[in-house]
Copies of this chain bind each other. A is one copy, B any other.
Amino acid sequence: MKKILTVIAALSLLAISAGAQELGNFAFGRGPQVVSPEINGDKTTFRLNANYATIVNLVGAWMENPYGQGIPMTKGEGGVWEITIDTPSPEIYTYSFIVDGVVMSDPLNVFVQRDGSRYLSMLMVPGERTENYFEAKKQHGTVSHRWYTSKILGIDRRLTVYTPYGYEQNPNKKYPVLYLLHGAGGDEEAWSSMGRAAQILDNLIEKGLAEPMICVMPNGNPNQMAAQTLGLPTTEMDWRDPANRTSYVRSLCEEIVPFIEKNYRAIAKPSSRAIAGLSMGGGHTISASALYPNMFAYFCPLSAAGALTPEQAAALKKANPKLYWVACGNTDFLWKGSLELKKLLEDIQLPGFEFYESDGGHVWSNWRLYLNTLAPKLFK
């Protein structure tokens, strides 16, 4: 017994040194051992081993111009480039280094998010605003990637399903469902990665601030089977063709909702169904309220705009939604459109209508805030 355990321990050490890695360490192993990013109270330092680089810049989402060239870092001993900034206010920010004109993520930072086809490093500043964006202390739900068949779209498709902590331990309990839709450029992983949806729901539910709920995050690109990281072919369907325009919302309401209610312990009635979406997904949400007003009791278009015909508005009003929560940032390029939607819904005196104005624009910091704000309003 002792012998085999010694062997196992030795093995582990060997394997650690070999690192189970296919490529060498280069910059990681060669330069000085440094940490990046390092948050020290109100100062944050970024570092990069780049002894042979000529210019290294830092660009981050907290900057006035996150689309610019960023700010220069300074080369120090051993070829470590460094910059210390005032820690930005609590939020999850993306950032990159620009090394001799080439944008790259921070090789010392394991926290990375994928935004479409791009991988960006994350700076996670703790604070009251971000409290629910970090992992919950104790109670974690399950996040699954699952497939369903869409006859309307003619393909099998992947979706992400969050079931709350306790779902499996309470086999007779049924749960309400939030359908949470991403924007253009996103996919079925957007809300669970950039949106921190599982963390936000875990925390809210653990604190008793939100009802335990299932959250379904489908892929909103009707020509796509799954996120492009799976390498699957897309269909040639022209989804701007009038005949196809409503296909996605139809597939959502006529295929995904029944699929979820068949395969999960979901409460299959409107008062236990909510739909929320950002940007393009906000358009889908508005469209669902126009085309399926009786299916959901909660509609939350986020950073989106869209109109309803008088007939649709009347049908929606008659459906008597519990909540119609329109949220937008006041520097968003869709701010004006959101105000138009607000006016339309106020004019018809829609039950449950609420308008939520935030600072900022068309960015994930707002969408995380909106999810954290709207989830406690659901299913009460």
Contacts and interface: CB of A to CB of B under 8 A. Distances in A.
A55 B41 CA distance: 38
Interface in A98-150: 98-105, 107, 110-112, 114-120, 124, 134-135, 138, 140, 142-147
Contacts of A219: none
A254 interface: no
A371 B7 CA distance: 24
B184 A20 contact: yes
A306 interface: yes
A26 B55 CA distance: 15
B140 A4 contact: no
A48 B102 contact: yes
Given A4-B306, A9-B240, A140 B120 contact: no
Interface in A5-63: 5, 7-9, 11-12, 14-16, 18-28, 48-55, 59-61
Q: What is the oligomeric copy number?
A: 2
A19 B22 CA distance: 33
A329 interface: no
Contact of A15 (B15, B25, B279): B279
Contacts of A112: 114, 119, 229
Contact of A16 (B12, B117, B120, B185): B185
A245 B23 contact: no
Interface stretch (A209-217, A283-291, A292-300, A348-356): A283-291
